A = this chain, B = another copy of it.
Amino acid sequence: MIVVMKKNAGSDQVQHVVALIESMNLKSHVIVGTERTVVAAVGDDRKQAKASLESAPGVAEVVPILAPYKMASRELRPEPTQVVAGGLRVGGGHCGVIAGPCSVETEEQILSAARAVKAAGATALRGGAFKPRTSPYSFQGLKEVGLKLMAMARDETGLAVVTEVMSTEDVELVARYADVLQVGARNMQNYRLLEAVGKTDRAILLKRGPSATLEELLLAAEYILDAGNPRVMLCERGIRTFESHTRFTLPLATVTYLHEKTHLPVVIDPSHGTGHAWMVPDMAVAAVAIAADGIIVEVHPQPERALSDGYQSLTYDQFSQMMARCRRVAAAVGVEL
* Interchain Cβ contacts under 8 Å between A and B, 21 examples: A52-B306, A54-B310, A55-B313, A68-B137, A132-B189, A136-B219, A186-B190, A187-B189, A187-B190, A215-B245, A239-B242, A242-B242, A250-B251, A250-B252, A255-B282, A256-B274, A256-B278, A286-B289, A288-B289, A328-B332, A329-B329
User: With an 8 A cutoff between CB atoms, is A40 at the interface?
Assistant: yes
Instruction: From the candidates B34, B249, B278, name the one contacting A241 in the complex (CB within 8 A).
Output: B249
Which residues 168-204 of A have a CB within 8 angstroms of B?
A: 168-169, 186-187, 189-193
User: With an 8 A cutoff between CB atoms, is A119 at the interface?
Assistant: no
- A40:B42 contact, CB within 8 angstroms: no
Instruction: From the candidates B4, B20, B209, B249, name the one contacting A304 in the complex (CB within 8 A).
Output: B20
- A66:B35 contact, CB within 8 angstroms: yes
A9 to chain B, nearest CB (A): 12
**Which B residues touch A256, using CB under 8 A?**
274, 278-279, 282-283
CA–CA, A42 and B133, complex, Å:
24
A125 to chain B, nearest CB (A): 21
Produce 1/0 per residue, A293-320, CB < 8 A to B: 0000000000111111111010000000
User: With an 8 A cutoff between CB atoms, is A143 at the interface?
Assistant: no
Range of interface residues on A (Cβ < 8 Å):
35 or more
- A277:B55 contact, CB within 8 angstroms: yes
CA–CA, A40 and B245, complex, Å:
21
Mostly, the A contact residues are: mixed
**Which B residues touch A33, using CB under 8 A?**
40, 42-43, 65
> Known: A43-B33, A189-B186, A333-B329. Is A219-B168 also a contact (CB below 8 A)?
no
User: With an 8 A cutoff between CB atoms, is A211 at the interface?
Assistant: yes
> Known: A75-B7, A256-B283, A289-B289. Is A304-B52 also a contact (CB below 8 A)?
yes
Since A35-B44, A63-B63, A288-B289 are in contact, a sample of 15 more A-B pairs with Cβ atoms closer than 8 Å, ordered by chain A residue number, is A2-B65, A51-B310, A54-B310, A54-B311, A68-B135, A134-B189, A136-B222, A167-B193, A211-B242, A241-B242, A246-B251, A260-B278, A285-B333, A286-B289, A289-B289
Q: Which residue of B lies closest to A16 (CB)?
A: B304
A42 to chain B, nearest CB (A): 5
- B241:A244 contact, CB within 8 angstroms: no
A212 to chain B, nearest CB (A): 9
User: With an 8 A cutoff between CB atoms, is A111 at the interface?
Assistant: no
User: With an 8 A cutoff between CB atoms, is A213 at the interface?
Assistant: yes
- Pick from A245, A249, A253, A308 the residue with the most CB of B within 10 Å: A253
**Which B residues touch A77, using CB under 8 A?**
none
Q: Which residue of B lies closest to A239 (CB)?
A: B241
CA–CA, A138 and B191, complex, Å:
12
**Which B residues touch A34, using CB under 8 A?**
42-44
- A55:B306 contact, CB within 8 angstroms: yes
